[in-house]
């Protein structure tokens, strides 16, 4: 347990912010707006974006790059259910999904490459040459 000195100004604002945030949070996630889990890593040459899209046909995923924003979107179709089926658990979600990323530096949209393997969509997003780090050689005389 941590004991912290009470500061009326700081603590009042923190509680107020938590109160406000409570009302900003959605109570439920609509089926039309599913999350898309991503990993984004950076190296000297560019960025690698990995998106988990298991069970989704790659032809049903749309990738666009517009005004420095990369967008991945698609839809998970609902399976037809019959009246005779009695679900015990139904957790697989259906509906549309979308995720957009703005990169911190300029990237070369013309050279983005996308691959799909085992339910993981991988995008290689190269940086433009001007922002890649340049190594300067030290000459010894």
Single out the residue of 75, 95, 107 nearest to residue 29, CA to CA: 95
pLDDT value, residue 13: 52
Class of domain 29-131: mainly beta
What is the per-residue pLDDT across 55-84, written as a single tens digit (0 to 9) for each? 888 888 999 998 889 999 998 877 776 667
- The residue behind tokens 């009302």 is 23
Stretch 87-115: mean pLDDT: 87
**Is the pTM value of this prediction over 0.75?**
no
What is the per-residue pLDDT across 2-60, written as a single tens digit (0 to 9) for each? 566 666 655 555 555 555 555 554 444 444 445 788 999 999 899 999 999 888 888 88
Q: Establish how many alpha carbons lie within 13 A of residue 84's alpha carbon, considering only the half-sphere containing its beta carbon.
A: 0
Report how far residue 56's alpha carbon sits from residue 75's, in angstroms, rounded to the nearest whole number: 8
Question: What are the sequence ranges of the domains in the chain?
Answer: 29-131
Query: Which is it for strands 113-117 and 61-66: parallel, antiparallel or unpaired?
Result: unpaired
pLDDT value, residue 4: 60
Q: Give the containing element (helix H, strand E) for 69.
A: strand 69-76
What is the per-residue pLDDT across 112-132, written as a single tens digit (0 to 9) for each? 999 999 999 999 999 988 877
pLDDT value, residue 33: 47
pLDDT value, residue 20: 56
Q: How far apart are the first and last CA of the chain?
A: 61
Stretch 89-114: mean pLDDT: 88
Report how far residue 1's alpha carbon sits from residue 76's, in angstroms, rounded to the nearest whole number: 45
pLDDT classification of 134: cutoffs 50, 70, 90 = confident
């Amino acid at each position: 347990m941590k004991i912290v000195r009470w500061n009326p100004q700081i603590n009042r604002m923190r509680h107020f912010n938590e109160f406000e945030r409570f009302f900003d949070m959605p109570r439920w996630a609509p089926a039309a707006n599913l999350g898309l889990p991503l990993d984004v890593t950076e190296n000297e040459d560019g960025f690698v974006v990995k998106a988990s899209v298991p069970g989704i046909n790659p032809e049903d995923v749309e990738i666009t790059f517009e005004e420095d924003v990369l967008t991945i979107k698609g839809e998970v179709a609902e399976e037809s259910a019959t009246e005779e089926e009695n679900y015990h658990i139904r957790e697989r979600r259906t509906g549309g999904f979308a995720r957009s990323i703005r990169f911190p530096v300029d990237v070369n949209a013309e050279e983005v490459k996308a691959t799909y393997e085992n339910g993981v969509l991988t995008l290689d997003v190269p940086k433009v040459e001007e922002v890649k780090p340049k190594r300067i050689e030290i000459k010894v005389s």
